Each structure stands twice: as C-alpha cells, then as structure tokens.
Structure 1
C-alpha cells in the first residue's frame, strides 16, 4: 500500500480486512538496521509518537529521524505484524549509507526521504543544494524543481489547498464505501493514488529527488529477497511516490549497479520519543502534516468525530475561562456540517470545524482560536519509549537523574522556579547548568531571574527530540552528566584564548558545581589574566568573576582562589581604564560605557564581600572621578561616570551640577554635549526622575537645548530623542509640564513660589496627613499611637 506517512486514512488500509488471507510478511519503508528494534514496538511502555533515531557513531551530530504517530500506516502495520506473529522488516536504504551521503534531502509529500534530519544537517543540506542550483543556473544547466505530488494532484482536481484535497479523497471517505477496515473499499483510493503517482513519475521523473533512485533500487532488491523467502503474499507499506518505482520491471544487476560505491559510516539506531508538534510541517519535516492533533482525533474516534471534536474544543476554552456552553457546541456542529454541504465536501473537515469554532465559540476572534490550533489541532503529545531501548550511557544517566529529581521531559514549555536553599532544587539547578555546558538546551534561565545570584532561579523548560542527538554528541565527553560536563569544561579551559571565555567558564563551573574542573579552569584563568593587558578584555572578564563569587556564596563553594584573581583584575582595571577611555570613536565610546557600568556593578559585589575592606571601592571611585573630569574622555563616558558617582553618594550635588554646566557650556560642541547628557540621564537608569526632582539640572539641560544653533540642532536631535524616549510616559509628561511652566525664580524653590508641580500643594496639609496615618500604620504593621487606639 502506498499512501501518506502520517494519515489515519492510510492507517486504516494498513490492516488486512477481516476474513482476508493475512500477508506472509510485512515490509516497511525504513532503515534495515532498525529490524532489531521492531519488537520494542509491542512493549507496553512504548507510546507513540516515537521515532527511530539513527546517528553516525563517530559523528553523532549526523543524525536522521523516522517519526511515527499512532495513526501512521507504518506504525499500524508494525503493530499488526507483531500482534499476529508475522515477520516484519524495514527495506529502505540503510542508515549507514543515508547518513554518509553528502547531500541528504527531504522527499516529496507522498513519501519522505530516509528520515528527518536534525536542524543543522537540514540547514547545511539546503544551503549546499541551493548553491549547486545556483551554480547550475549560472552554467546554463537545467535545474529540476522539486515536485510536491500531492499539490500537483490537488491542483489538477481544482483544489487550491492540498490538505483539503487529501481529506476529501482519503480521510473523509464514507464508512459505507470503505467497507471493513483494510478491505477493497478501504484500499480503492490508494489503488487510484498509485495510478496517479505513476502518471506523475512519467511526467516528472524523479521529481527533483535524484537520491530516490538509489533508495528505490535498494527497496526493489529487498522486495525480491522477501518474495523468494515468503512468496508473493508480501505486504509493502511505503510512500505513494515510491509505488510506481517498486512495481517497475528492472533487473537485479541494474539495481545493484545503482548502489555500487555508496559511502558508508557506522551507525547506531534507537527509539526516541517524538512530539505532535514536530510532526507539523512548519517544523521542517519534509513529510510532515499540518494538523497531527486533528488526524489523531480522527484515528481514535470511531463515531461522531465532529461532535466529539467540538466537545474537546469547548473543554479547552472552558479551562481558559471562556464562556462556552453546550448550546455553543451544538451550534458549532451544525455550522460545520452546513459549511461542508455548501462547499460540496463529503464531510466536515478541519477547515469547516475551525471556521465554526471561530464564529460560534471564539466570537470571531483569532486569539482564542490560536490556542485551539496550538493545543488541539497540532497538539502537545510527547511519546514514551521503554527502558529496554538502546541508549548511550550518558542518556541513561540523564534519564535516571530526571526521575530522581522528578523533572519529566515535556514537549510543552513550562516555567520552573527553584529555591537553591532546598537540596532538591539545588540539584535540579546543577543538572540544568551541566546540560547547558554540554550544549543540551533543555532549560534556559529566564532573563532577569536566573542570573541575579540570589537564592532563586527561574527556568524555561522545553524538551525537543533533537536533544537526544545533542546528548549522543555529548557522550564523547563521559558516561555521566557530571563527568561529561567536567571533561568538557577542562577541555574548554585549555583551548580558550580569550580571558572572557575562561571567566564565563569559571562561572559555569560554579553554577554546575564541577569541583574537579575548577583547578584546571582557575589555572587557565590565572595564566590568561597575567598575559592579557587589554583593559577592555579585563572589563569583559570581571563581571562574570564577581557573579561567580556570589554564586559560590549561595552554593557554599570555596572561591578563595577566584577572589584573588578577581581582585587583581579589578586593580588593573582601576589603573588602566582612564587611559583606555581616550581617543575613542562613537561606537567605541558606547561599548566602553557598557563596560564601565558592568565593572561598576562587579566592584560593588566584590567590595561588599571583601573582609576586611581592601580599599577597592575607594580606588574605583578615584578612577571614576578621573573619567568625569578629563576633557579627552568621550562625553558619554564622562556623563555616565558622573552619574554613577552621584547615585552612590560619592559626588556632591553641587559638584554634579558644576560638571554638567561645564559639559553644556557654549564652548562644547553640541554633539559632545548631547553625548554627555546621554551618559548622565540616558536609558532606563532613572535619569528622568533625577531631572524631575532636581530642577537645577533640568534648567541646565533646558538652557543648553534652547541655545543649540539651528544648523546643528538636527544633528543633536536623534541622540536626544533616544535619550528621552526611554523614559516612562509619566516621567516624560511631568518633564514637559515642568519645562512648560518655566524655571522658578533664582534662589527660590518652586513650592515657596506658590507654583507647585501638578498633584502637589503649596505646603503640607497636616489635617489630611493625619487622616491617612492610621491606614499607613496598619499597612506597615506598626502599632497605632495611643490617641489613635483610644479613637
């Protein structure tokens, strides 16, 4: 039978009809190395969707998948053969050859390539393919386009949507016409489909897939072998595109000639869990389907599929607090059936049910409909494989850790909050950090939470099938997650050339708790730090070290050696930074400003944890004072240095106003003055509130801005716009109101002049303050005053 790899209609035809003679053997399109894994399909722990994973032993990154869902004809045929003790085999090109071929390519819609490639392999294959096509076009050669046979047949039948055509022809056949499962009525559409594919093969040849000729030659050889062993009563389940080629009359010698000289690698195969989301076409799988959740529903539902589907949708929307009643379900079913009749379809399909759900249950909105598509039409199912399935030792250790820590892999992303003071949560954090070090991206720290160095971490977890390939690749480093992460950290420390890379690695080692790797990393860190004289490199390295020290405190790790290196780097930065900040262009100044901010935060951490006080904070303040006072330093850096000193109370307000006055004096070029303002009050650093509360500074900025010459104003405006656009709307509104009112008289505060800003009175209203004081005490948990208690 030749059909579509993932379709309930084809799955029904993959089972012999009741009373019909069973086949003597079942042949499946797939890698023959997987024959030894077929009995696992009958294991009670095996739950589709699953996939055969093949990877090269010497290069695990070269991998392919052969996915199967519960409604895949191949899976149904395998399960039937195992349940009835009928021999079952894979007959496609061996994975040893398909992985070795340089240009793997996905097959057409009616039959896929040997398997789904990983993202890197797919991208490389498509890039190479595009490059060859471009070269062929430049050379004047004819480039054969890749043919999608289902789309061609749908277009011939007058359909603009191949999915809708497939539903009408295969999935929505009436039960009466189909007869018993697997009977002549069930196979009739596939007989016609095979004839249509034969016509397409005559018109399009290999359809732009030259590798199919090699695969089909191998399948013909295996078919001949099976017929000699079992007779002609052999059932073959494959993509419809291959049926004409398998039925073609060729000689054994001709087929063997096509296979001669194929490259070969050593390959390992296993079963891995798959997801419905990865079956969707948008995931990159050549023979994928748009709606695996919908197809799974059709396969599992024996009667009244539309009614049961609408009930599922209603349950989902109710769980999201959408007001959906039984009447909505009834009306949606009626509308779907009416739409099917108006469109001339045999039964209501996915298009009709989706339109009905949008109109009736979603009130015409696509927002809740997107949830239905994501949760039901595509689905979030993640399969399971038995423990007996082969796996690399690293995968087995990871599986044990996941069970011990109760971290079950899930296809749908979820948030995980960890309290590092709890042993279980700390162990989970260590596991996730070790996997990140091994490039197994199961979890990603949530921005702003996982990198603060506090007792809490937040992660976003999402398990994708490709991670099994990552685990296989990481297996070269060790047999357990701990030993593999340790070995990779040590190798990375030895190979690293940039100081920042080593400091980042040290941070990873502390987060992942790799005590055996720390000595190697620390030695590499000390060597790189001693040789690197670039202040920019030192500034890039210090923040990671400061965070590492803080993480070490949280995890009770000995970081004395790390503290020595960090202190040495900080001292060298304090000495060399003022000279490094001179003679910079605009981009260089902006980059160094970010480094100054990062170093300032890092020294704050180092100084806070230093006992006794080493004077590091004092030396850093002296360096900032130098930056703020030197005219040769870029304006954006001078402004930022001034602001950092002011915020930390290391610079008097009068001195800050004096420096601003100098920076905004008439002799300063407007572009330099605007850069100083950007450094002082730019971004989300609270500069807007500083101007709101200090009218002297606001007046200086206002006076400078009104004095910028007209011919230079357009050059200054983009920088000013970027500076002030980062403020909150309320801050911008208040600043505009203050500027509109104009400055207060010299030497007089605005409240004394009787012109208070909007929302503030000219003085303190004690009666109103006394009225709210009891409420404030209650909110703050303070006991009431005796007079209040008496009241």
Structure 2
C-alpha cells in the first residue's frame, strides 16, 4: 500500500508528460489532485468537452470579506492531465485541497500561486550555479530542455527549494487537509497505489504528514459560514491570462509556445515561434526581411549549441530574435531575464516577441456546462429590451423604455462586462444632457465576465448593487463617482444601500477632496435631477448634511503647507451651494457657518487659499465684512495670490461683478488690489506673479476683460481691454514653454520635491 507523490510546477509540459507516464505505468487506484474539494461532485462537468484553457472560478461573500479565486487549467497542466489520464486508466479521481472561500486563501486570488518569492534564496543560488537570469530560465534549463530522469530531478529540486522554509498558516492548513485525503485514499485503495499530484512546494510536507497518524475516513468538505454567499463555476480562460509576462504568479511564461511544445515538441515549437514573430511584426509594418530571419535562426542555433541544448529552447529563440531584430540600445533588461510583467517603455519588437510567445488562444465551455443564474437573467433582459444585437444606440433618458435600457447597460458596465460602451451622456447629476450614445466595444471575454459577475448575485439589479457596495472604500472611482453610478443603475432600491454607506463613510473621511466631490454630486442630484427620480430625495439629504458638517469641521482644523489645492476649495464651494440652495436640509445654520469661516479666515496658521476661501464664503452668504482690510491683511506678496485664488473660487461674482467696484468702502476689492500690486517692488512682483496668475485663471475670458477695462478706466486711459489679454509672442514658443513647465513640474512631483498644490 503506497502513495506516490509527484511535485510539479503548474502548467509545465514536462511535468504533464511525467504525470501521464506515471499513471500509465502505475495504474493507481486513486489519483489525488491539488484542487478545490468542493468540486469533487462536479468532476463530470469539469471533464466535458471544453476547449481549454478554462478555470474554476470561485466566489465568496460574507459580512467580513469578499473573495474571488481562479483555478486555471490548460491542456499541458499537470493537474488536467492527472484528471484525464486518471479517468482513462479507471482510477478514482479526487480534488484534495480546501475550497477557495477558506481563509487559507485569504491573500491570494489564484490557487496555483505558489510564488517562487518564498524560496528566492535557493532559486537564486541555482540560477547563479547554472548561469541563468530568472527562475523561468532555470526551469527551462533543468526540466523542459532535459527530459531524462525528470522525476528524480524534480524531487531534488523541490526538496532544495522548500528546505527549511516556514510555511504560512494558510499553507499549513492546506497541507494538513490534503494529507488527510491521502491517508483516506490509502486506506480505501486495497493495496493498490495512490498517486498524489500537487505543487512541488507542498510535496515534501505532504510526504511527512501523510505518514503520520490522523483521523480515519474521507475528510469532510468544509461548509461556508452561515449567511455567506458563494459558489464555483467554470469560466473560459485565455493564454494571455496564464502568461507570467502579464503578472500571473504561477504561470509559465509564453503559454502559446508551450502549447506547441506539448503538441509537437520543442523543435517544432521553436519553428512556430519564428513564424509567429515574423507575421506579427510584418502585420505592424515593422521591416523583417528574409535575411533577418535567416540570421536570427543562425544565432538561435549557435546559442542552443553553446548552451548544450539538443533542440532550441524558448530562451534560445527569443535571444536569437532579439539579438537580430532589435537594433537600438535597450535601457532595461530583456523581460525574459527576470520574472514579472512587461514594464513601460519596453522596446516594441520585444513586446511583439513576448506576445507571439503568449499566443491568442481563448477557451470555450461545452454547451452543456451549467451557468450561474445571472447569465440567463442578463440574456432575458437584453432580449426583452431589444439590446441583444449589440448595435449602436441613442437613448432618450426622458423615455421610460430608453431609461430602463440605460439602467441595464450601466449595470453591466459596473460589473465590468464587455459589450456596449457609453460615448456620450450626462457626466454628473446637474448635467443637462438628456441623451446617451452607446457604441459596440470589444466583446472578448464577455462570457467569462458574465459568469464571474454571477458571484455578486443571481439577478442583474442584485449583482450591480453588490458590486457597487464592495467598491466602497476600495481603489477606483471616488465616492462621488460611486454615487452617480448608483443613480445611473437605477435609484429605487439600488442607491439606498450605497447612499447609506456613503453617509456613514463621510463621518470618518479625513480629506476635503473626496468630501467635496461627494457633496457636489449629491447636491447636484438633489437640486437638478429630472431624469433618475432622486431630486429632493431624503436619501441624499443625509449625505449633503453630513458632508457640509464634516467639511467645515476639517477645514477649521487644517494647518498645513501653503499652495493652492483646488480640491479643498471645491469642497468649500459645495458648502456654499448647500447653504444657499438647500439650507433646510442642514443642521449647520448660515450663522454658524459664518462664524467658523471667520475663525478660519483670521487663522494665520491656516493655508492661504483656505483663508481666502473662508472669507469668500462669508461674502457669498452676504455677511458684512471689511473687504478692503481683508485684502490688505492677506499677507506678504508671495501669499497674496493663493489667498485671492481661494477668494475667487468662492465669491468671484459677488466681488467683481459690475457695481462691485464702486459704492461704499466695503466694495473696493479691485482698487485695493491694484494699489497693492502697484506698490510692490520689482522683486516682490516677480515673487507674487505666479500665484497671481493662478488666482486670475479662475476668471473666464469675459470677466478678465471686464477687470482689465476697470483698471484702464481707473488710470484715465483709453484703449482696448481685450488687447491686454493677448500676447504678441509666438504661440509655438508659448506652447514649448508650457510643455517645459509641465515636464519640470512632473519631474519635481515624481521626486517629491514640490509643495502641495
């Protein structure tokens, strides 16, 4: 009664051949495979006539976390060969790993991500010993190009790289669970052998654990926590998703190349890679002559001989092609000299070499494959609304039927399902646009995306609601965009959960920018929406009230670096609009807001733009204030522009409209400002000029012309105010100067040397 443990690298043709050969020779009673044990009663579904690659997509959601996981399989995956060859040999098949929802997988999105980073020290020594640059090159050198004595060399390799490495708690839980399956299979095998196929990292531990005492009988499959939602479905996968060059942790690079190795052998795969590279480069009009290809083949053959390969390996071919076809200096190593995705700036020829090796194959599921309810729900909705054909659409949002079509399309959009793409439509709640234009977009991956979206819910509204809720607090669009997405997807019942979560999040938000975006979006919808049915909604009232109070609280306590920050200025502008147009919603009165803003405007520790904005908010609310004195007290010349920038954002119209520069002493902003600038020395003026330019950039051209006319009249001069706003400089020179300024600003920001703006 024996157990044979095969430690493999996932998606390795050499390991797949070893598994097939071992099953043929061993004729085991059981074939145990690293894979989700909750799929054991669905192995017939998995082994339908799919076109690989495919993956088992698993999802789980409860009050604590939401998780998704993929278990990808292609024709040369050792796990797939173990299943198909095992069934052909009459063996009983079992997946023996924990389900994907289990906390053991909490920090990984892929079951087969046994990342070599955990044993980088051992692989680093091996790379140095065999004079290769990466673990992928090491694997090719030791196993793919050297098929003899493969099993013994694999055992030695994985014993070495595992060594004394301490497994994570998740890995220990998985290995103990897998070992329990091995012990049960040995007990049931009746003396016949049991074959265990797992990732090589687990093999040393499994051999020890399986030999120890443990509970008898087959392990139970853990059940998800009560109240959680989860499940597993098969999805189409692609070679691009399998490729280590796009970031797949446990992937073999160049899966298209290895598919050819699996089907036709290494020499034929090398020939196929040559053809694919030539076709791709010529299709992109990159000059590739026959002489270039002959030279590349010669260099490849020389490299293979030098490296002791009977047939050219993948690296031989890639190095030969790069050495011949790349005629420029490269500012970074070739991507196959390391592990990881391509980096920005990779040479275009090198990009095509990588993509040629990756291949374009996309898997398809057998027609009898069960699909999640969401797929059928979406198909029915699209057919019922006349959206199934995927033609361009213009939707009139005031038409109830078109509004429902829009909601369905937006729900698919927030679920990241490829298809129609919106090219025109309202950008926010106050946007007066009442039509949308949708154009067909790339549909690749639509079936897989729909199946994966089924993890959010059984119906389209339910799935969209769950997807939006999970975006709260995650990377991606801010709360304002999330709120508008909820409204676009259908406010009734759909926005309530998101709005409630937004209202709760507002109370703990620490940045003025996101608060201002949320306040602007909610206020715009509350005031102006006439399409989506949320105008004057009590749901939005809570968000508006909470955001106003939080913005004022944060603004009063803000002491930080100088320099204008438009985000915080827009936040105070949102407070102004709420006080002027929705005061009945607010617990903060105009009087209280005015007192807070007075304290901010008089606080010398507050940023200058915020002080100016607070004073502007007082003016916008009609509060009597000595405006001339406030301008004179704004600060030194280098601070004046920032103060004015904040002031203009909040109260430009009240202070510079016709009539605001005449009358009593309270309405003399421009004359006082003119006097301050005139009194500056040349040095002071040059210091103040950049921030003054930024401040007056808030004025549209017509208002700038009015300011210029006022200044001309004050001096008793005649002339065109418009001419003061124009320059005689060469526009191309100005454009080059702007480009230089942008480049310098980007460089300063990249190195963290600039002041906050």
Q: Provide TM-score, normalisation by structure 2.
A: 0.61
Which residue number in structure 1 is paired with residue 179 of structure 2? 217
* Pair 1:227-2:197 in alignment: no
Which residue number in structure 2 is paired with residue 194 of structure 1? 155
Q: Retained in 2: the 8 A contact 1:297–1:305? A: yes
* Pair 1:67-2:77 in alignment: no
SS at match of 2:90: coil
Deviations 1:698-733 (A, max 9, x none): 9889646536669xx98x69x739949999xxx9xx
Cα distance in 2, alignment partners of residues 115 and 465 from structure 1: 23
SS at match of 2:56: strand
Which residue number in structure 2 is paired with residue 758 of structure 1? 728
User: What is the CA-CA distance between 1:68 and the residue it aligns to?
Assistant: 1.5
SS at match of 2:316: helix
Cα distance in 1, alignment partners of residues 209 and 483 from structure 2: 65
Could you say which structure has the larger radius of gyration?
1
- Equivalent of 2:269 in 300, 305, 321: 305
Map 1:328-343; keep pairs closer than 5 Å: 328-343=292-307
User: What is the CA-CA distance between 1:508 and the residue it aligns to?
Assistant: 3.7
Cα distance in 1, alignment partners of residues 51 and 261 from structure 2: 21
Cα distance in 2, alignment partners of residues 349 and 53 from structure 1: 36
- Equivalent of 1:706 in 681, 685, 689: 681
User: What is the CA-CA distance between 1:441 and the residue it aligns to?
Assistant: 5.0
Q: Retained in 2: the 8 A contact 1:293–1:379? A: yes
* Pair 1:256-2:215 in alignment: yes
Deviations 1:99-125 (A, max 9, x none): 54558687xxxxx996559xxxx9xxx
SS at match of 2:213: helix
Q: Which moved more, 1:339-348 or 1:32-41?
A: 339-348
In angstroms, what is the RMSD of aligned CA positions? 6.8
Q: 1:346 to 1:631 in 2, by over 3 A?
A: same
User: What is the CA-CA distance between 1:536 and the residue it aligns to?
Assistant: 11
Map 1:33-432; keep pairs closer than 5 Å: 33-51=38-56, 53=58, 55=60, 61-62=66-67, 64-82=69-87, 84=88, 86-95=90-99, 99-100=101-102, 115=112, 146=119, 153-157=126-130, 159-173=132-146, 188-198=149-159, 204=164, 210-211=172-173, 213-215=175-177, 217-225=179-187, 227-228=189-190, 231-232=192-193, 235-243=195-203, 251=211, 254-256=213-215, 265=224, 268-281=231-244, 287-302=250-265, 304-364=268-328, 366-369=346-349, 371-372=351-352, 375-378=355-358, 381-386=361-366, 388-390=368-370, 392-394=372-374, 396-398=376-378, 405=387, 419-421=394-396, 429-431=406-408
Q: Retained in 2: the 8 A contact 1:11–1:73? A: yes
Cα distance in 2, alignment partners of residues 58 and 580 from structure 1: 30
Q: 1:704 to 1:581 in 2, by over 3 A?
A: farther
Q: Which moved more, 1:242-251 or 1:672-681?
A: 242-251
Q: Retained in 1: the 8 A contact 2:610–2:646? A: yes
User: What is the CA-CA distance between 1:147 and the residue it aligns to?
Assistant: 6.6
Q: 1:334 to 1:666 in 2, by over 3 A?
A: same
SS at match of 1:221: helix
User: What is the CA-CA distance between 1:278 and the residue it aligns to?
Assistant: 4.3
Q: Retained in 1: the 8 A contact 2:609–2:644? A: yes
Cα distance in 1, alignment partners of residues 696 and 12 from structure 2: 53
Q: Retained in 2: the 8 A contact 1:52–1:65? A: yes
User: What is the CA-CA distance between 1:599 and the residue it aligns to?
Assistant: 7.3
Q: 1:722 to 1:280 in 2, by over 3 A?
A: farther
Q: Retained in 2: the 8 A contact 1:50–1:383? A: no
Map 1:548-559; keep pairs closer than 5 Å: 548=525, 556-558=531-533
SS at match of 2:363: coil
Cα distance in 2, alignment partners of residues 518 and 237 from structure 1: 48
Q: 1:70 to 1:537 in 2, by over 3 A?
A: closer
SS at match of 2:71: strand
SS at match of 1:79: helix
Deviations 1:592-621 (A, max 9, x none): 5213555799999x99xxxxxxxxxxxx9x
Cα distance in 1, alignment partners of residues 601 and 576 from structure 2: 21
Q: Retained in 2: the 8 A contact 1:434–1:512? A: yes
User: What is the CA-CA distance between 1:188 and the residue it aligns to?
Assistant: 2.8
Cα distance in 2, alignment partners of residues 569 and 113 from structure 1: 41
Which residue number in structure 2 is paired with residue 613 of structure 1? none
Map 1:459-474; keep pairs closer than 5 Å: 471=453, 474=456
Q: Retained in 2: the 8 A contact 1:34–1:270? A: no
Cα distance in 1, alignment partners of residues 57 and 504 from structure 2: 47
User: What is the CA-CA distance between 1:309 and the residue it aligns to?
Assistant: 1.0
Cα distance in 1, alignment partners of residues 633 and 495 from structure 2: 55
User: What is the CA-CA distance between 1:224 and the residue it aligns to?
Assistant: 1.0
Q: Retained in 2: the 8 A contact 1:362–1:368? A: no
Cα distance in 1, alignment partners of residues 412 and 53 from structure 2: 26
Cα distance in 1, alignment partners of residues 389 and 579 from structure 2: 37
* Pair 1:4-2:4 in alignment: no
Q: Provide TM-score, normalisation by structure 1.
A: 0.59
Deviations 1:560-604 (A, max 9, x none): 5459989x989x99xxx9999999866899565213555799999
Cα distance in 2, alignment partners of residues 285 and 357 from structure 1: 24
Which residue number in structure 1 is paired with residue 642 of structure 2? 675
- Equivalent of 1:544 in 521, 528, 536: 521
Q: Which runs of 5+ in 1 are unaligned?
A: 107-111, 127-144, 174-185, 409-415, 530-534, 608-619, 645-657, 686-694, 732-744, 761-791
Which residue number in structure 2 is paired with residue 774 of structure 1? none
User: What is the CA-CA distance between 1:328 and the residue it aligns to?
Assistant: 3.4
Q: 1:316 to 1:65 in 2, by over 3 A?
A: same
Cα distance in 1, alignment partners of residues 514 and 138 from structure 2: 61
Cα distance in 1, alignment partners of residues 20 and 500 from structure 2: 65
Cα distance in 2, alignment partners of residues 726 and 155 from structure 1: 59
Deviations 1:429-476 (A, max 9, x none): 534543677xx455899999873544457899897999789746533x
User: What is the CA-CA distance between 1:16 and the residue it aligns to?
Assistant: 4.1
User: What is the CA-CA distance between 1:50 and the residue it aligns to?
Assistant: 1.9
Q: 1:542 to 1:595 in 2, by over 3 A?
A: same
Q: Which moved more, 1:160-169 or 1:240-249?
A: 240-249
User: What is the CA-CA distance between 1:395 and the residue it aligns to?
Assistant: 5.4
SS at match of 2:20: coil
Q: Retained in 2: the 8 A contact 1:217–1:258? A: no
Deviations 1:370-411 (A, max 9, x none): 532663444565533346445543455356668985699xxx
